[in-house]
């Protein structure tokens, strides 16, 4: 490799694609970077590697930088979200025995699924999530709060172990990023019931993060990394590139997955059970379009609110989403910047044109399943 070596941690999921494409297609090299992707076995291992300085940057679950900056969990550190890597891209599935109790519930009907689960009598529902400070868990908590009569136990399971966990009866259901939901279906141990976007239509899933001190000391490196990843994300969301993206990701040693596992997420064609036709999921995962890469501070505030922190903590959470850095490093690179860095989350029912630097920005629907909205702009 030639260029400045930059060690970037990741967990092997389809939504690490912007990092893989930035390396494999040379976007990083064009910025003078030798992007060294360092695979991690779990989110806790990745968190610790970044906090201890063994990584320069990392793919992270969107709540992780907020939680680390607030001192939640082990090894707290001031961590900045430089940009969002992906929006949505997760699935909720249940074991085959549980699926038998849910007959008649349509795929993607979050309210009906919740009602059906709440009507079940008996033991606690054990649901696997990949990490405590994950969007999966926050969406799960937000969704199940609408059925307070349910008893849910959240169990941490690394994504590659999720299919085995449900097959062995360790969990009754799971919320996980692709391809690990599809793996469970292909192994014949589970059925998919909905996607993350059925609870929140535009949830920031993975982010590109770095320690705050590293960002301050390496401003130009951070800029070059952000530009490379931005280019890769834009390439990924061009429809004509999706077949090639699946091929590149499939042959990449960074994922070590067959193309039949990668394609459902990239194409938005999910198979909920072995004998079912594919379900077409509009915007199942977004890497770039509709300002997907922009680190909205209102999204950080929503994350902080779901974590139960106070107003001072909300302000700290918002500051960790570096929309200021994003504007400075990508504003001259052709990115159409929204006029504001916060918005009322959940207020968009349809694609909506908004004020922006180039006047062409259209935001995607971001509604919550219960129709509520969240405005944290007054909270400082």
Angle formed at CA 145 by CA 139 and CA 148, multiple of 5 degrees: 150
Q: What is the pLDDT of residue 123?
A: 80
In the chain the domains, ranked by start, together with CATH numbers, are 4-88+203-265+283-341 (3.40.190.10), 90-202+269-276 (3.40.190.10)
DSSP assignments along 187-238, one per residue:
TTSEEEEEEGGGTBTT-EEEEEEEEHHHHHHTHHHHHHHHHHHHHHHHHHTS
pLDDT given at position 240: 97
* Residue in 77, 81, 79, 76 with CA at minimum distance from that of residue 62: 81
> Mind listing the pLDDT tens digit for each residue in 60-105?
999 999 999 999 988 889 999 999 999 999 999 999 999 999 999 9
pLDDT, tens digit, 9 for 90 and up, residues 134-163: 999 999 999 999 999 999 999 999 999 999
Q: Is the pLDDT of residue 207 over 60?
A: yes
Decide: helix, strand or coil at residue 83: strand
Instruction: Quote the CA–CA distance of 63 and 307 in Å, as a whole number.
Output: 9
Q: Give the span between the Cα atoms of 233 and 227, in whole angstroms.
A: 10
Beta-ladder partners of 36: 7
Strand ranges in 222-328 using DSSP code E only, listed in sequence order: 269-270, 279-280, 285-286
The predicted pLDDT at position 379 comes to 46
pTM summary value: 0.96
């Amino acid at each position: 490799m030639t260029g400045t070596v930059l060690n970037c941690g990741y967990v092997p999921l389809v939504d690490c694609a912007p990092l893989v494409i930035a390396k494999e297609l040379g976007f990083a090299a064009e910025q003078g970077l030798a992007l060294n992707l360092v695979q991690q076995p779990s989110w806790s291992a990745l968190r610790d590697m970044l906090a201890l300085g063994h990584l320069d940057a990392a793919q992270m679950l969107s709540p992780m930088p907020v939680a680390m900056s607030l001192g939640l969990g082990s090894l707290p550190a001031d961590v900045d979200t430089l940009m969002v890597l992906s929006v949505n891209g997760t699935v909720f599935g249940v074991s085959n025995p549980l699926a038998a109790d849910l007959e008649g519930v349509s795929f993607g009907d979050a309210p009906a699924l919740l009602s059906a689960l709440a009507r079940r009598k008996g033991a606690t529902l054990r649901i696997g999530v990949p990490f405590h400070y994950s969007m999966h868990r926050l969406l799960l908590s937000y969704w199940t709060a609408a059925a307070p009569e349910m008893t849910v136990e959240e169990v941490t399971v690394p994504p590659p172990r999720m299919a085995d966990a449900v097959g062995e009866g360790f969990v009754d259901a799971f919320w996980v990023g692709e391809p690990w939901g599809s793996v469970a279906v292909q192994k014949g141990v589970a059925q998919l019931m909905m996607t993350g976007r059925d609870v929140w239509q535009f949830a920031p899933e993975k982010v590109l993060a770095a320690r705050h001190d590293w960002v301050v000391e390496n401003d130009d490196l951070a800029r070059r990394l952000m530009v490379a990843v931005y280019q890769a994300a834009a390439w990924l969301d061009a429809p004509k590139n999706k077949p090639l993206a699946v091929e590149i990701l499939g042959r990449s040693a960074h994922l070590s997955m067959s193309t039949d596992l990668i394609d459902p997420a990239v194409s938005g064609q999910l198979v909920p059970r072995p004998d079912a036709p594919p379900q077409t999921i509009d915007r199942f995962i977004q890497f770039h379009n509709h300002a997907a890469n922009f680190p909205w501070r209102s999204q950080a505030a929503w994350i902080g609110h779901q974590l139960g922190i106070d107003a001072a903590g909300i302000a700290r959470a918002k500051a960790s989403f570096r929309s200021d850095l994003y504007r400075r490093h990508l504003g001259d690179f052709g990115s159409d910047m929204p006029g504001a860095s916060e918005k009322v989350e959940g207020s968009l029912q349809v694609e909506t044109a908004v004020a922006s630097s180039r006047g062409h920005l259209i935001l995607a629907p971001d509604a919550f399943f219960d129709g509520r909205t969240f405005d944290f702009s007054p909270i400082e």
